[in-house]
């Protein structure tokens, strides 16, 4: 009985401690975004809203943040489109070297980022390509593509082929079957893959550091500024990104719960 009681309370306590451990840096970042700092943002000097109101007073912060958003958006779009097509081809069609392509797609998942970043940097140097936003986008596409393929493939594996066969039996063209049946069913997986790719691209530092050249991104700016104390504007942007991510997750969860309730009512 005592062992049962210990196991009953040990897991909730462990989960609570884990959440506290994970949220302490986020809480620190959020609190110090309101710090009335002078030269560094390491000592609390007073509460102010000026950092949130004038977040772009430090031009370097907003420029780096804008570059990160641009790179992540473009890389996410390209990798999501290419990854979705590759996932459909690998799942629905048989062709030569199919198993080899599957293996090659999993290699970036197991390759350390420093190896991929250094290898891409060497390739760009050999080809004489100047480093900048373009090289970072190419590197991020190559980095996130495998994650998109794996995520969309998992969604495709759950689809019932009978639904597409029913569409073909009703004389729908292949394009109409894809547009009206396949794509709507794949959309949750594609959305999840796109969000994952965006998060990985926006957050990446190692691959970006090797291939960005003079271009500054938000992770690079934070790394360089951390030696002398982050400006409060960086804390503001970090807090805003966290709040936006939580809002998006909650919106998807609420939307999914409403759809499940609606389907349950229809089933009755």
Structural Rg of the chain based on CA atoms: 23
How much is the pLDDT for 228? 67
Torsion of CA 200, 202, 205, 210, to 10 degrees: 100
Pair of tokens at residue 203:
């957050």
* Cα 32 to Cα 48: distance, rounded to the nearest angstrom: 10
Pair of tokens at residue 111:
């390759």
8-state DSSP, 178: I
Dump pLDDT digits (tens) for 71-125: 999 999 999 999 999 998 888 888 788 788 888 888 888 888 899 999 999 999 9
The average confidence (pLDDT) of the chain is: 85
Residue 222 pLDDT level (bands cut at 50, 70, 90):
confident
37 Rama class: left (phi>0) / alpha (psi -120 to 50) / beta: beta
Q: Could you tell me the residue ranges of all domains in the chain?
A: 1-55+235-268, 59-230
Of 77, 146, 63, the closest CA to residue 111 belongs to: 146
Residue 5 pLDDT level (bands cut at 50, 70, 90):
low
Whether residue 150 is predicted with pLDDT greater than 80 in this model: the reply is yes
Torsion sign over Cα 250, 74, 78, 143:
negative
Question: Which has the minimum average pLDDT: 81-90, 114-123, 149-158, 222-231?
Answer: 222-231
* Between 100 and 152, residue with greater pLDDT: 152
Domain 59-230 maps to which CATH number in 3.40.50.620, 1.10.3720.10, 3.30.930.10, 3.10.20.440? Answer: 1.10.3720.10
Q: What is the mean pLDDT of residues 236-258?
A: 85
Dump pLDDT digits (tens) for 160-193: 778 777 877 777 788 888 888 888 888 888 998 9
For 208, list phi and psi in degrees, rounded to 5.
Answer: -65, -40
Decide if 48 contacts 36 (C-beta within 8 A): yes
* Cα 69 to Cα 72: distance, rounded to the nearest angstrom: 5
How much is the pLDDT for 1? 47
Q: What is the mean pLDDT of residues 28-33?
A: 84
Of 247, 262, 236, 210, the closest CA to residue 61 belongs to: 236
* Number of Cβ within a 10 Å radius of residue 165: 12
Q: What is the mean pLDDT of residues 130-154?
A: 92
């Amino acid at each position: 009985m005592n062992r049962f009681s210990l196991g009953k309370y040990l897991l909730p306590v462990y989960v609570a401690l884990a959440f506290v451990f994970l949220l302490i840096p986020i809480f620190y970042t959020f609190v110090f975004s309101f710090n009335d700092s002078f030269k560094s943002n390491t000592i609390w000097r007073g509460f102010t809203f000026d950092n949130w109101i004038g977040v772009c007073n430090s031009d370097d912060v907003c420029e780096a943040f804008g570059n990160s958003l641009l790179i992540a958006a473009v890389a996410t779009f390209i990798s999501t489109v290419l990854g979705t097509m590759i996932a459909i081809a690998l799942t629905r069609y048989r062709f030569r070297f199919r198993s080899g392509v599957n293996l090659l797609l999993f290699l970036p998942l197991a390759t350390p980022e420093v190896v991929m970043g250094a290898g891409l940097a060497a390739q760009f140097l050999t080809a004489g390509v100047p480093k900048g936003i373009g090289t970072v986008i190419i590197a991020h596409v190559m980095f996130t593509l495998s994650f998109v393929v794996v995520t969309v493939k998992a969604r495709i594996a759950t689809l019932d082929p009978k639904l597409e066969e029913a569409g073909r039996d009703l004389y729908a063209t292949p394009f109409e079957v894809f547009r009206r049946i396949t794509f709507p069913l794949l959309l949750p997986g594609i959305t999840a893959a796109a969000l994952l790719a965006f998060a990985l691209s926006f957050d990446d530092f190692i691959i970006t550091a090797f291939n960005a050249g003079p271009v500054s991104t938000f992770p690079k700016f934070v790394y360089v500024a951390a030696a002398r104390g982050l400006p409060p504007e960086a804390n503001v942007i970090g807090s805003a990104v966290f709040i936006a991510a939580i809002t998006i997750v909650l919106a998807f969860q609420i939307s999914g719960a409403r759809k499940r309730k609606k389907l349950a009512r229809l089933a009755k």
